[in-house]
Structure 1
Amino acid sequence: MSLIYSPTMMLTSMSMLLSTLMALSSTNWILLWGAMELNLLSFIPIILQTKTNQEVEGSVKYFLAQALGSALLLFSSTAMWMPFSLGSNYMPLLLSSAILLKLGSVPCHFWYPSVMSSISWTSCLILSTWQKLAPLMILAFLIPQKNSQFIMVAAGVNALVGGLMGMNQSRLRVIMAYSSIGHIGWMLSLLAVYKPNASILYFMVYTALITPLFLSMNYFNIYTTKHLNTSKSRNTSSHWMLIILLLSLGGLPPLTGFMPKFMTIMILTEYTSIVVITLILGSLMNLFFYLSIVINMMLSSSNLKTLLPIKSLPSNAILITATFSLGFSPFILM
């Protein structure tokens, strides 16, 4: 179900965009906390635009999780700079945990798949891309370097949890949530070795891959793996576009989704090997359930004598963006 365009929608969208920019440009923790609170309150009306019971439940869960993260962020950032603070050595760790909670990362990831399964595809796209930008930048530039070991451990666990928990799911939004958790692990591993530019590049490629995928899922009303085999997307262009996007998101070489992972492996081999192995195992599990979805799609379409009538996409921009998953791998490597 798509979002409803209205003056309220435009106001909340602009507030959400500007609050993220305020968080990225803030010079102290109080301004950062205020900007992220404004971002939280701006995103909730966007979730509620379609006015269904599930989205009300998802908005409440999102609010409670983000409010807890904001409270921990304000408490830890204030206590970290107070003199003679009890447990001041643990405040940076608590601050990192608050940012991971806002990011939807392990070990504070329990709210993320539940919220993703309750909201529309358009809201899922915003939650998986724009809403992660400010927490990632905070981890990249503001977290003290002595938390790098904690971030590296969280990165490895993210990859494993994203792979294991996504294998037994049939709802696509939940699968995409656990896939996002796995990709967060790769981004955090780059941040832990002080490579923020590489992490930003990974995030940009991930955003470019899931944008046409989520918009296509929303347009064809696809919510479960069974819908992929019975939906109106089974025409020549749309069907193969979804297959290629899923494989690229899983990191199958030589598609575009493989290149950021290859870049991350080349960087991390200079620092650690255990986390690299953990990330690769999690990525293989992600690729396993993506391949199972794709194989079912291909078998179901081959069993049909004729494909369903073509339902054209609302804009050629989706197809143009989807081609990013094919032909731009060498440029990313360069």
Structure 2
Amino acid sequence: MYYFNNSNKMFFFFILFLSTLISISSNSWFGCWIGLEINLLSFIPLISSPTNLLSSEASLKYFLIQSISSINFLFIILLKLMMLKNFYLNNIFSIMINSSLLMKMGSVPFHFWFPIISEGLTWINNFILMTWQKISPMILLSYYFNKNFLYLMIIFNIIIGAISGLNQTSLRKLMVFSSINNLGWMILTIMISENLWIFYFSMYSFLISILCIFFFNLNMFFINQLFINNISSLIKINLLINFLSLGGLPPFLGFFPKWITINFLMLNNFILMTFLLVMFSLIILFFYIRLTYSCFMFNYIKMKWLKINIKNKFMWILNFSSLISISSMIISTFLFF
């Protein structure tokens, strides 16, 4: 298999960025489909890596899944154009278009490819898959959505994302199921307001980027590496703060977009939806705290010789993110009281 060097990969990063702009700025469904196809073809070379044995399998699986969803998307668009005057089928068309876009995002019940492919990717590629690759399908979803269908998908996302993460030992799968849970929140926010979705997506991308960079620098892929390796207490505290912020624990930074969403749901009498969102967010926080508890409390004497050295630039980023999360506590006292 041919692998691309760094200069070629920078070119594909640019095409990836450009393809998303093509999809979200197109004035026709066919133009949106072209943007999604360019996005797929530009992401495949980025997955390929000569140092990762699972990259070829992951890229092939990703190509097959995305191709199936793209074919479904194009078929439904053409079918809709042929039966434009038939208003009785609009509800079915909206569900089918939403389903193909949900498959592209890795949403429940089309999420089975997401954890499997993530195991063959690096942390940087996982970050792109969990954030940037969701922008185009999410924006297209807001153009033509079925409310009742998406409400059901939101509930499934928050339930499956929370429960499936409980028995995971792989950090990549753990972050994927956390992403599926947050995907339910993001679908809800884009149904409410695009500005709220941009705010939620920005906060989520910032927090997930810090954790992905952390695991990338420490070369960690499993939970037991957090307490086997010799990590300083300052790094552990920063990791705890960022995990709690990502989980949406008040009054950290990650709670703000969730608080705005919950406030809107309560004002519109979505009591059951609010209850489910809050309860399953507690499960997400449970396995985040369990993970950091293992990091703080467990200690392996045999591996003391393995000292983890962190670059100064990375420590500055980690401390800065923690400072933002902590400073949000001070801001929140004025907001809540």
TM-score, length of structure 1 as denominator length: 0.90
**Aligned partner of residue 58 in structure 2, secondary structure:** helix
Contact preservation (8 Å) 2:52, 2:120: no
Give the residue type in structure 1 aligned to 2:257.
P
Larger CA deviation: 168-177 vs 5-14: 5-14
Q: Does the aligned pair in 1 maintain the 2:236–2:292 contact within 8 Å?
A: no
1:110 pairs with one of 90, 108, 112: 112
Alpha-carbon offset, residue 59 of structure 1? 1.1
Q: Residues 42 and 322 (structure 1 numbering): CA distance in 2 closer, same or farther, change over 3 Å?
A: farther
SS for the counterpart of 1:49 is coil
Residue of structure 2 equivalent to 1:181: 180
Please name the residue that 1:167 is paired with: 166
Paired position in structure 1 for 2:204: 206
**Contact 2:22/2:32 (<8 A) preserved:** yes
Secondary structure at the aligned position of 2:56 is classed as helix
Partner of 1:252: 249
- Contact preservation (8 Å) 1:19, 1:38: yes
Q: Distance in 2 between matches of 1:238 and 1:50?
A: 31
For residue 235 of structure 2, the aligned residue among 234, 238, 254 is 238
- 1-structure distance, mates of 2:56, 2:319: 32
Q: CA deviation at 1:5?
A: 5.8
Name 2:10's counterpart in structure 1: 10
Q: Report if aligned partners of 1:165, 1:178 keep a CA contact under 8 Å in 2.
A: yes
For 2:328 and 2:222, the matched residues in 1 are separated by: 30
Q: Shift of the alpha carbon at 1:328?
A: 3.4
Q: CA deviation at 1:17?
A: 0.9
**Residue 50 of structure 1: how far off its partner (Å):** 4.2
CA gap of 1:313–1:205, structure 2 versus 1, over 3 A, is same
Name the residue aligned to 1:293. 291
2:31 corresponds to: 31
Percentage of identical aligned residues: 32
Q: What is the distance in 2 between the residues matched to 1:281 and 1:317? A: 32
User: What is the count of residue pairs matched by the alignment?
Assistant: 327
Take 2:307 and 2:4, find their aligned partners in 1: how far apart are those partners? 28
Partner of 1:65: 65
What SS does the corresponding residue of 1:118 show, helix, strand or coil? Answer: coil
Distance change in 2, residues 1:333/1:185 (3 Å)? farther
Structure-2 separation of matches of 1:88 and 1:227? 51
Alpha-carbon separation, structure 2, partners of 1:58 and 1:239 = 31
Q: C-alpha displacement at 1:88, in angstroms?
A: 4.8
Following superposition, the deviation at residue 185 of structure 1 comes to 0.6
RMSD: 2.6
Deviates more, 1:19-28 or 1:166-175: 19-28
2:224 is matched with 226
Distance 1:5 1:252, change over 3 A: farther
Task: Pick closer, same or farther for the CA change 1:295–1:190 going to 2, 3 Å.
Answer: same
Return the structure number with greater relative CO, CA threshold 8 A, min gap 6: 1
**Deviation by residue 1:209-238 (Cα, 9 ceiling, x = unmatched):** 011110110110110000111235x11332
Alignment partner of 2:277 out of 270, 276, 279: 279
CA 303–324 in structure 1, closer or farther in 2 if over 3 Å, else same: farther
Matched to 1:257, the amino acid is G
Instruction: Identify the residue that residue 143 of structure 1 maps to in structure 2.
Output: 144
TM, length-normalised to structure 2: 0.89
What amino acid is the match of 1:259?
F
Q: Which one is further off, 25-34 or 77-86? A: 77-86
The answer to whether the Cα contact below 8 Å between 2:251 and 2:328 also exists between their aligned partners in 1 is no
Instruction: Say if 1:4 and 1:50, in contact at 8 Å, map to a contact too.
Output: no
Provide the rounded CA distance (Å) in 1 between the counterparts of 2:19 and 2:46: 14
CA contact (8 A) 1:263 1:333 kept: no
Deviation at 1:24, TM superposition (A): 1.4
> Contact 2:238/2:318 (CA < 8 Å) preserved in 1?
no
Take 1:19 and 1:318, find their aligned partners in 2: how far apart are those partners? 31
2:102 paired residue number: 100
- Contact kept, 8 Å, 2:171 with 2:222, in 1: the verdict is yes
Partner of 1:128: 130
State the AA in 2 paired with 1:143.
Y
For structure 2, list consecutive stretches of 5 or more residues without a partner in the other structure: none
Q: Is the 2:115–2:177 contact (alpha carbons within 8 Å) kept by the matching residues of 1?
A: yes
CA contact (8 A) 1:209 1:325 kept: no
Deviation track 1:109-164 (CA, whole Å, cap 9, x = no partner) reads 11111111221111001111111111111122x114xx111111111110000011
CA contact (8 A) 2:248 2:254 kept: yes
Q: Residue 314 of structure 1: CA displacement?
A: 5.7
